[in-house]
Structure 1
Amino acid sequence: MAATHIFDAPPEGVAADWTMPQDWTAFTAEQHEIWQSLFDRQSAALDGYACRSFLGGLDILRRLKPGVPDFAELNALLKPVSGWEVVAVPGWIPNRPFFEHLANRRFPAANFLRPPEQIAYSEEPDMFHDIFGHVPMLADPAFSDFLVAYGQAGLRAEKLGASDFLGRLWLYTVEFGLVVEEGELRAFGGGLMSSLAETVSALTAPEPRRIWLDIERVMRTKYHFDRLQQTYFVVAGFGDLLRATEETDFASIYRRIADQPALDPGDGWPGDLAYEGRLPAVPAGGERRS
């Protein structure tokens, strides 16, 4: 099934900047139960897999009343500690408003929740993915500054017609990124945090390639929409990720790779530097996917 919450123009009730009222009171008792079930399951399972910044930021969500988060209540807790606020959007929005929101410390979150039949796996990013997967990381100063720098880079990329290249950097860091903490690999990407099966696979399975982040390499690498990634990129820390983003001349990379073939997700590259440090232990029973 294709994603359904994709828009080319703001639908009725959505502002020109693609924001909309959350209308928290419209969420049903069933939706509140779905959210709480997902939250309880994921938050209990991620210890030992998620990075410290994510686990610490998760405390912000724990302080909310049970059920679907009320963005007004969430922002009252989030903004004082991070400078960020969450804004409701209808789903996938165009690049320019997305980049503008990030550059101004506004995180767009889908204003819909997956249906009951997709509780284990949502076919498109929903509110749980956006809030649970991403909001805890906003409390990390270096990572939140990286998102601002990414938004600013995105606005420049739009003018150069290079947003697709920059989108790959988003996917392989903000969605599926890995970081080294105390010599061991941990997950920080929102796509991993909202999918325990892929978190465990990314960190413990023997099959995926785990490569130190190289921005040009990332921008040349395609990715999977509908199955586990074959390649994950590793950063030494969020300060390193921020510096790489601020110091890299993206425009020169765009020009250099514009006429080069994209790499398939599982392809190797001559410049690859494999991560060869410690991986977390495989879960009890050897289960890698659920």
Structure 2
Amino acid sequence: MNALAAYARGATGAGIKVAVIDTGIDLESPEFAGRIDPASANLAGAGTLDDANGHGTAVAAILAARRDGVGTHGVAFDATIIAYRAEPACTSSCFMSLAAVAEGVDRARIAGARVINLSLIADTAPTAAMRAAVDRATAAGVIVTICSGNEGRAQPQAWGGGLASDPAIARGLIILVGSVDAGGAMIASSNLAGDGADHFLSANAGACSAATPMVTGALALLAQANPGMSAAQLVAALYASARDAGAPGQDAIYGRGIVDLTAAFR
């Protein structure tokens, strides 16, 4: 990730809204104090926005946990989080409502999110409601980052891949995300770029649920540092600065490469 170069330039994510559609968020955590947007909501029809599972909180922490000199912090540690809970009351072996996810995409767009983080997977084609919501989001200039899957396959999962590969709704603003180890090798469980190489990036994390908010955070830093850039320009900057891996150039394993904020902030 190499985010120190971004921080040295004053980029922290301040003023940038990022949406996390997941299992909710820990409303009492000091990591997010004062930075959970009032548009945040439970969309699952049961329980509250508060995260009983922990997955959504972990994703939000990787993205935007505060920098206080204690432990770790998020990539864009001053960003504002719009959190949507798409999972019914559940603590293990949980499934999110795809209808709630689609609603979250619409709400995030309306609430002013610059990037929507989807650290979730589904091995089915995207629903008509999801396609329509993403279409509205990208038409409004909202970037969407989606986990590619953790099955060790040669292709991203059908749900995210189906959205990203349709140029009529993606508009070049959907990024599929894979996971690499500290040495830059694709981890065994990560789904590869495959046919989605043109819109695939990787980050150093143990699974794509964690890698995806790293890419989202990188976009938030770039957006703050370059307020005049369009969504398409932000995505292009992240692709252009990515570190090449595997075969030279774009390939079916790493896609566009590995996110490198040192290069992005030169």
Could you state the TM-score of these two structures normalised by the residue count of structure 1?
0.27
Could you state the TM-score of these two structures normalised by the residue count of structure 2?
0.29
Higher relative contact order (CA 8 A, sep 6+): 2
Q: Which has the larger radius of gyration?
A: 1
